[in-house]
């Protein structure tokens, strides 16, 4: 099937009324969770996952994907108007977006960020359509060692890019691998670390873990200080950018798109990191870097384009290799499995309707978002004015219902609450939860690939280095792991004399 | 100033966790390298946790000697509020089956609205009852989630 036929097939699926409806629901909910601080796409998708169980697989994926890229659109609204990021990928947008609003340019900031999101989101989908099928064909040649090496690289990249000391991020990944090993052993079916709790036989659920670590813990952190949000009180006018705005922004939009898409493809990359990188690049290439932070339009559109393009890129490893690039993709992987699909190289060939339907729905979703976002900004502003003390009980209730509905089990709720408390403690001690989640999801796949590889090589770990693809991937991982050691060693040398001096 | 800094304390706890995981994994058997057993990966994970935490302990000890002390994690925050929320979450989990979804949700939302950042009673009552009934209608009646019914059938 050539590209044209595939795209036509995709549109035939995506334009069915029920899929259009779920795409619409997805992007509206996505924008809403993007707008609301403290409830990101990870928590929202986990929350709504059980409600998709009675949908067709393609409708479910279309809706859940819509939430993801919809949240990227919505996040900018809160950043610009309230100076609080609606979700993590919009942190950077606060820097210049809010300053633009203070200067009376809230309208152009919101308008141009919606257009930047649309352009980047659309280019991201085109990239996904062009790259995914050939990559899936190549992935058919992957064996267990290549999969193992790729997953190790994904975890290493995530820990490398995580904030704070690398040992903490790696430790969280190792802890995630342990949590992922709880339950029945995939090869021998014997129970591990289940503490005789039946619900743990299927492993630690990713959904309660994600909702706890990202949803509940965020609420716990927010309630410990009285949040007084001040929504920027101004008439939002001139949403349509001027010619000068376009002239100033277009380069940043394309650079952000390029950065976002390729960082999105990398396992461990994603929207958050790409928005930061884009901001740094814009500042570097700017002739007036001193204006960054004071309300420059490039500081808004670059990161916004990057985080939207990253959403398209992030689907590539999931749909072609079955490997989630980030926590959101990990939940989508889980939901695809719930619906009886196995994302990976065979998906494009075996279920072309689903693959192309989901991809083309993103085009439609992006158009919906552009049309919806500008007229609905007033509504989002009103929602933002709902005080947090009234909002947080609702967020908690949705999490509780979401966790319970997974298996109608109180144990899942208790697991989620436990992870919430754990996430709260992690944040207090500055441990990032993202490597844990990625490792928790990849754990069972990684273990199967590791054990199969060792079976194939009669116990020789060299199998990961002898084969060209896995060898290159492992070398990249080793380089990333070794990289921080060099300055650390230098620093250590510098510290030791001081220590001896003190003694 | 406390004797240890935050990273020293957390790293020490992680070392204990890592050792416990590795020892626990040994019970399941590691198997030979050509055919790894059930405990193989968790054992590696436990060792990695303990090793990385040891690196962290060394680094944080060096920092401690340079003067990085304990940063109070609860200073300047209203720590009682997260505690109340945690208690409410546990209570909800334990009571949702015996009390049923609607009543349990009314109590849960009412408690949070009143206890964490006190709202007027009208907001508490309207918010709690409205939220419980609304959530019941959306999730139970529309989305067919099987929420616990309790002795009253709702």
Q: How many CB pairs under 8 A join A and B?
A: 180
- Residue A433: pLDDT band with limits 50, 70, 90: confident
Average pLDDT estimate for A125-150: 85
Name which of A224, A393, A404 is nearest B82 (Cβ-Cβ).
A224
pLDDT at B9: 93
Pick from B89, B103, B135 the residue to mutate for testing the A interface (most A CBs within 10 Å).
B89
- Residues from chain A contacting residue B41 (CB–CB below 8 Å): 177, 181, 443, 446-447, 450-451
Name which of B35, B59, B147 is nearest A165 (Cβ-Cβ).
B59
pLDDT at A490: 47
Q: Are A181 and A174 spatial neighbours (Cβ–Cβ below 8 Å)?
A: no
User: What span, in angstroms and rounded, lies between the C-alpha atoms of A217 and A322?
Assistant: 29
Beta bridge partners of A183: A192
Q: Does A158 score more than 80 pLDDT?
A: no
Q: Tell me the pLDDT tens digit for each residue of A354-389.
A: 889 988 999 899 899 888 877 887 787 777 777 888
- Residue A226: pLDDT band with limits 50, 70, 90: low
- % of chain A at pLDDT higher than 90: 23
Q: Does A232 score more than 70 pLDDT?
A: no
Average pLDDT estimate for A236-257: 87
Q: Does A162 score more than 80 pLDDT?
A: no
Q: Are A74 and A380 spatial neighbours (Cβ–Cβ below 8 Å)?
A: yes
Backbone angles phi, psi at A158, to 5 degrees: -65, -45
List Cβ neighbours of A6 (8 Å cut-off, separation of 6 or more): A129, A133, A352, A356
- Residue A125: pLDDT band with limits 50, 70, 90: confident
Beta bridge partners of A269: none
End-to-end CA distance of chain B: 54
Average pLDDT estimate for A186-195: 88
- Residue A230: pLDDT band with limits 50, 70, 90: low
Q: Does A157 score more than 80 pLDDT?
A: no
A63 touches chain B (CB under 8 A): no
For chain A, the average pLDDT equals 83
CB B56 to CB A492 under 8 A?
Answer: no
- Residue A267: pLDDT band with limits 50, 70, 90: low
Restricting to A residues 469-498, those with a Cβ less than 8 Å away from any Cβ of B are: 488, 492, 495, 498
Q: Are A297 and A95 spatial neighbours (Cβ–Cβ below 8 Å)?
A: no
Name which of B28, B85, B143 is nearest A192 (Cβ-Cβ).
B28
- Residues from chain A contacting residue B19 (CB–CB below 8 Å): none
List Cβ neighbours of A480 (8 Å cut-off, separation of 6 or more): A156, A157, A160
- Residues from chain B contacting residue A38 (CB–CB below 8 Å): none
Q: Does A259 score more than 70 pLDDT?
A: yes
List Cβ neighbours of B55 (8 Å cut-off, separation of 6 or more): A167
User: What span, in angstroms and rounded, lies between the C-alpha atoms of A6 and B149?
Assistant: 47
CB A174 to CB B36 under 8 A?
Answer: no
Average pLDDT estimate for A290-314: 88
CB B119 to CB A454 under 8 A?
Answer: no
Give the pair of three-digit tokens for residue A282: 């814009």
Average pLDDT estimate for A95-119: 87
CB B81 to CB A397 under 8 A?
Answer: no
pLDDT at A294: 84
CA distance A370 to chain B (A): 28
Restricting to B residues 68-107, those with a Cβ less than 8 Å away from any Cβ of A are: 73, 77-79, 81-82, 85-86, 88-90, 92-94, 96-97, 105
- Residue A496: pLDDT band with limits 50, 70, 90: very low
User: What span, in angstroms and rounded, lies between the C-alpha atoms of A384 and A380?
Assistant: 6
Q: Are A40 and A311 spatial neighbours (Cβ–Cβ below 8 Å)?
A: no
Q: Is A153 helix (H, G, I), strand (E, B) or coil?
A: helix
User: What span, in angstroms and rounded, lies between the C-alpha atoms of A163 and A313?
Assistant: 22
DSSP 8-state symbol, B136? I
- Residue A38: pLDDT band with limits 50, 70, 90: low
* Interface predicted TM-score (ipTM): 0.93
Q: Is B118 helix (H, G, I), strand (E, B) or coil?
A: coil
- Residue A229: pLDDT band with limits 50, 70, 90: low
Average pLDDT estimate for A409-423: 92
Q: Tell me the pLDDT tens digit for each residue of A451-484.
A: 999 999 998 999 999 999 899 999 999 988 887 7
pLDDT at A498: 39
Q: Are A44 and A394 spatial neighbours (Cβ–Cβ below 8 Å)?
A: no
Beta bridge partners of A184: A191
User: What span, in angstroms and rounded, lies between the C-alpha atoms of A268 and A452?
Assistant: 24
- Residue A134: pLDDT band with limits 50, 70, 90: confident
Q: Are A211 and A47 spatial neighbours (Cβ–Cβ below 8 Å)?
A: yes
- Residue A493: pLDDT band with limits 50, 70, 90: very low
Query: DSSP string of A367-427?
Result: HHHHHHHHHHHHHHHHHHTS-HHHHHHHHHHHHHHHHHHHHT-HHHHHHHHHHHHHHHHHH
Q: Does A272 score more than 80 pLDDT?
A: no
User: What span, in angstroms and rounded, lies between the C-alpha atoms of A258 and A279?
Assistant: 13
The segments of chain B whose pLDDT lies below 70 read: 1, 154
Nearest to A278 by CA among A249, A295, A297, A298: A298
List Cβ neighbours of B103 (8 Å cut-off, separation of 6 or more): B132, B150, B152, B154
Give the pair of three-digit tokens for residue A497: 């004399």
**Which residue of chain A is at minimal alpha-carbon distance from B72?**
A428
> Poorest-confidence range of A18-22, A45-49, A60-64, A439-443?
A45-49
CA distance B117 to chain A (A): 6
User: What span, in angstroms and rounded, lies between the C-alpha atoms of B7 and A171?
Assistant: 13
pLDDT at A420: 93
Region of A183 on the Ramachandran plot (φ > 0 left; ψ -120 to 50 alpha; else beta): left
CA distance A451 to chain B (A): 6
Kind plus residue range of the DSSP H or E element containing B149: none
> Poorest-confidence range of A185-194, A493-502, B100-109?
A493-502
Q: How many contiguous H segments (helices) and E segments (strands) does chain A have?
A: 22, 2
pLDDT at B112: 94
User: What span, in angstroms and rounded, lies between the C-alpha atoms of A265 and A272?
Assistant: 13
Beta bridge partners of A90: none
Q: Are B89 and A396 spatial neighbours (Cβ–Cβ below 8 Å)?
A: yes
> Poorest-confidence range of A172-186, A244-258, B129-143?
B129-143
């Amino acid at each position: 099937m050539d590209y044209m036929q595939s795209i036509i097939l995709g549109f035939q699926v995506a334009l069915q009324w029920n899929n259009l409806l779920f795409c619409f629901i997805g992007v509206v909910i996505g924008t809403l969770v993007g707008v609301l601080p403290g409830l990101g796409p990870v928590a929202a998708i986990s929350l709504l996952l059980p409600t998709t169980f009675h949908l067709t697989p393609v409708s479910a994926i279309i809706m859940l994907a819509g939430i993801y890229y919809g949240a990227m659109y919505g996040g900018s609204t809160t950043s610009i108007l309230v100076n609080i990021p609606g979700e993590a990928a919009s942190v950077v947008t606060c820097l210049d977006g809010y300053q633009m609003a203070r200067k009376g340019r809230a309208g152009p900031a919101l308008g141009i960020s919606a257009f930047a999101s649309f352009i980047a989101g659309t280019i991201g989908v085109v990239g996904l359509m062009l790259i995914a099928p050939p990559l899936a064909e190549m992935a058919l040649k992957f064996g267990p060692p290549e999969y193992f090496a790729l997953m190790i690289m994904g975890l290493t990249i995530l820990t490398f890019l995580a904030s704070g000391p690398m040992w903490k991020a790696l430790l969280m990944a190792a802890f995630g691998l342990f949590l992922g090993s709880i339950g029945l052993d995939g090869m021998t079916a014997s129970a591990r670390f289940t503490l005789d709790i039946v619900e743990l036989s299927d492993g630690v659920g990713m959904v309660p873990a994600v909702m706890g670590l990202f949803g509940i813990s965020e609420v716990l952190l927010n309630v410990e200080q009285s949040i007084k949000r001040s929504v920027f009180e101004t008439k939002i006018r001139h949403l349509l950018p001027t010619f000068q705005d376009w002239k100033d922004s277009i380069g940043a939009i394309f650079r952000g798109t390029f950065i976002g898409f390729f960082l999105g493809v990398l396992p461990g990359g994603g929207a958050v990191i790409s928005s930061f990188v884009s901001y740094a690049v814009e500042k570097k290439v700017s002739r007036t870097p001193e204006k960054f932070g004071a309300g420059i339009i490039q500081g808004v559109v670059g990161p916004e384009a990057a985080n939207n393009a990253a959403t398209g890129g992030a689907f590539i490893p999931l749909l072609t290799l079955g490997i989630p690039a980030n926590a959101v993709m990990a939940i989508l992987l889980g939901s695809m499995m719930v619906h009886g699909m196995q994302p990976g190289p065979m998906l494009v060939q075996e279920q072309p309707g689903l693959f192309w339907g989901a991809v083309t729905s993103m085009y439609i979703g992006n158009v919906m978002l552009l049309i919806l976002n500008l007229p609905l900004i007033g509504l989002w502003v009103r929602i933002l004015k709902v005080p947090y003390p009234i909002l947080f009980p609702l967020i908690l209730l949705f999490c509780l219902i979401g966790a319970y509905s997974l298996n109608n089990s109180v144990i899942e709720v208790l697991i989620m609450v436990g992870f919430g408390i754990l996430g709260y403690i992690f944040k207090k001690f500055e441990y990032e939860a993202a490597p844990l989640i990625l490792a928790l999801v990849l754990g069972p796949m990684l273990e199967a690939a590791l054990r199969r590889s060792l079976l194939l090589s009669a116990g020789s770990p060299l199998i990961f280095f002898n084969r060209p693809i896995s060898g290159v991937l492992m070398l990249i991982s080793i380089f990333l792991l070794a990289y921080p050691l060099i300055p650390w060693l230098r620093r250590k040398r510098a510290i030791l004399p001081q220590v001896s001096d003190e003694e | 100033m406390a004797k240890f800094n935050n990273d020293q304390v957390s790293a020490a706890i992680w070392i204990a966790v890592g050792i416990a995981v590795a020892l626990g994994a040994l019970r399941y058997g590691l198997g030979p390298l050509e055919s790894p057993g059930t405990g193989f990966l968790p054992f590696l994970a436990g060792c990695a946790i303990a090793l990385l935490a040891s690196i962290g302990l060394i680094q944080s000890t060096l920092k401690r000697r340079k003067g990085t002390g304990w940063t109070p994690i609860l200073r300047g925050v209203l720590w009682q509020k997260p505690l109340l929320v945690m208690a409410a979450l546990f209570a909800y989990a334990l009571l949702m089956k015996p009390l049923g979804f609607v009543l349990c949700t009314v109590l849960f939302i009412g408690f949070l609205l009143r206890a964490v950042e006190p709202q007027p009673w009208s907001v508490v009552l309207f918010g709690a009852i409205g939220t419980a009934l609304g959530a019941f209608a959306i999730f139970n009646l529309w989305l067919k989630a099987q929420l616990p019914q309790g002795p009253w059938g709702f």
